[in-house]
Amino acid sequence: MRNKVLVVAVHPDDETLGCGGTLLKHKDYGDKVHLLICTTLNKNHSYYQNRKKEINKVSKIFDFNSVNTLPFETTKVDQYSMIEIIEKISKIINKVKPNIIYLPFREDIHSDHKKIFEASYSCTKSFRYPFIQKIYMMETLSETEFAPGIKKDSFIPNTFVDISKYMDKKLDIMNIYKSEIKRHPFPRSKKNIKALAIFRGATCGFKFAESFMLLKEIL
């Protein structure tokens, strides 16, 4: 049976940073992959039109089965009620009916990430969403590594995906987000993205890997 995958990206580029290689692998396996982008730039922002073009280009390369967007303004998710966020995310989850979901890490330093995780995870209760079988948290450079350095708040992966075949394509896709990628030592640099994949790969015997925290698996 083919999987139906939903990745919850708080901001455009989170899907590529956190699980870009894994999503490409899902598509190669014939899985249906859906993207949910939870935030948007204000329409008066000078980069608004460029960002729309970037999202369209990235979506075509990934060949997403659907791209869903929510109207919450970037960096201002705290201003929206939790009820409103949950309602909108729940609507997308019920439309897509994924059996696999990728979420942001709950302790990411960005307040947008924290609130979207909380709202998204509220939409995974088995008695309301019985089709969900696996829930993962993903690692997003420039957010996850800045979580407090104590055990209960740290990203401790327990699932690894070999993305050696997809590493170059992941970097090419990330390069489309021109305003989000900069030179090393900026966290979202091609050098750092590759270094993290090398490090995670060394943990599990692959050239390059992405890592996740498995929150729930129903067999």
Nearest to 175 by CA among 37, 74, 58: 58
Angle among Cα 190, 192, 197 to the nearest 5 degrees reads 95
pLDDT of 107 reads: 93
pLDDT of 29 reads: 97
For 3-13, write each residue's pLDDT tens digit: 999 999 999 99
Tokens of 5: 């995958």
Q: Where are the domains of the chain?
A: 4-217
Weakest mean pLDDT among 22-31, 38-47, 94-103: 38-47
For 108-150, write each residue's pLDDT tens digit: 999 999 999 999 999 999 999 999 999 999 999 888 887 777 7
For 64-110, write each residue's pLDDT tens digit: 999 999 999 999 999 999 999 999 999 999 999 999 999 999 999 99
pLDDT band at 201 (very low <50, low <70, confident <90, very high): very high
pLDDT of 185 reads: 86
For 14-25, write each residue's pLDDT tens digit: 999 999 999 999
Weakest mean pLDDT among 45-54, 159-168, 201-210: 45-54
pLDDT of 113 reads: 96
Fold of 4-217: Rossmann fold (3.40.50)
Statement: the pTM of the whole predicted model exceeds 0.85: yes
Q: CA quadruple 169, 171, 174, 179: dihedral positive or negative?
A: negative
pLDDT at 179 over 90: no
> How far, CA to CA in Å, does 100 sit from each of 21, 77, 169?
16, 25, 22
Radius of gyration in angstroms for the set of CA atoms belonging to the chain, rounded to a whole number: 16
Q: Phi/psi of residue 101, each to 5°?
A: -130, 135
pLDDT of 197 reads: 98
Q: Give the mean model confidence (pLDDT) for residues 153-176.
A: 96
Residue 214 amino acid letter = L
pLDDT of 148 reads: 72
Q: Give the mean model confidence (pLDDT) for residues 24-45.
A: 96
pLDDT of 40 reads: 95
Weakest mean pLDDT among 10-19, 92-101, 155-164, 185-194: 185-194
